[in-house]
């Protein structure tokens, strides 16, 4: 099934080029993030966004077709922030599998902190999973990360077939994101314990 089906474009309708246009665009995004934090997805609509930003409806529709297009732009920004954490961690991996559990544990903590620091981060993660028109952003981002992981994995494990390496890395990636989502969603579990068990589960996926 294509991930592009009914996908929403994350690119602005009109690319903001002048400093004033860029400021307006950033103000709309920031207003949407504050609404996501305070009211969640249910409170997000174009009227609420422009009111919070102190702008008018034409300003919104100059850059976004609808609220899903704005969620797509914010979702991509969040995915990029999360992916940057992982790409930095992969560059620093010294040996596999020896130190993997410790390194994965640290990576999960950093990803969790980056997501928490991103205004509206949890609501955006939910939207990328729950709204069909946005799923391609999440799937393409996770696929991109899994490919990078697989290349690094194959450097240390050249005997593993490439397709199997990708499968293992994609599953490891999904387990990591599931851990982050769960810890953002509930406070009934011990974070350190969940992160530790997730790191060990990822190690088992990659090297079990």
d(CA 76, CA 9): 11
Q: What is the pLDDT of residue 144?
A: 94
Kindly report, residue by residue over 66-77, the tens digit of the pLDDT: 999 999 999 999
d(CA 58, CA 144): 35
Question: Which parts of the chain register pLDDT below 50?
Answer: 1-3
d(CA 192, CA 188): 12
Q: What is the pLDDT of residue 3?
A: 46
Q: Walk me through the domains of the chain, giving residue ranges and CATH numbers.
A: 19-63 (1.10.10.60), 67-207 (1.10.357.10)
d(CA 162, CA 151): 9
Query: pTM to 2 decimals?
Result: 0.87
């Amino acid at each position: 099934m294509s991930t592009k089906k009914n996908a929403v474009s994350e690119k602005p309708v009109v690319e903001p080029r002048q400093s004033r246009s860029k400021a307006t665009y950033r103000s709309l995004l920031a207003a949407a993030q504050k609404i996501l934090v305070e009211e969640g997805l249910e409170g997000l609509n174009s009227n609420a966004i422009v009111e919070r930003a102190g702008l008018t409806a034409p300003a919104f529709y100059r850059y976004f077709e609808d609220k899903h297009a704005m969620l797509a732009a914010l979702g991509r920004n969040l995915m990029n922030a999360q992916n940057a954490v992982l790409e930095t961690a992969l560059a620093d991996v010294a040996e596999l599998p020896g130190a993997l559990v410790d390194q994965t544990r640290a990576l999960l903590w950093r990803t969790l902190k980056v997501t928490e620091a991103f205004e509206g981060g949890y609501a955006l993660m939910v939207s990328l999973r729950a709204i069909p028109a946005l799923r391609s952003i999440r799937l393409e981002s996770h696929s991109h990360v899994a490919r990078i992981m697989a290349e690094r994995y194959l450097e240390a494990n050249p005997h593993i077939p490439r397709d199997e390496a990708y499968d293992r890395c994609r599953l490891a990636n999904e387990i990591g994101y599931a851990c982050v989502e769960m810890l953002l969603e509930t406070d009934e579990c011990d974070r350190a314990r969940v992160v530790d068990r997730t790191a060990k589960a990822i190690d088992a996926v990659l090297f079990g």
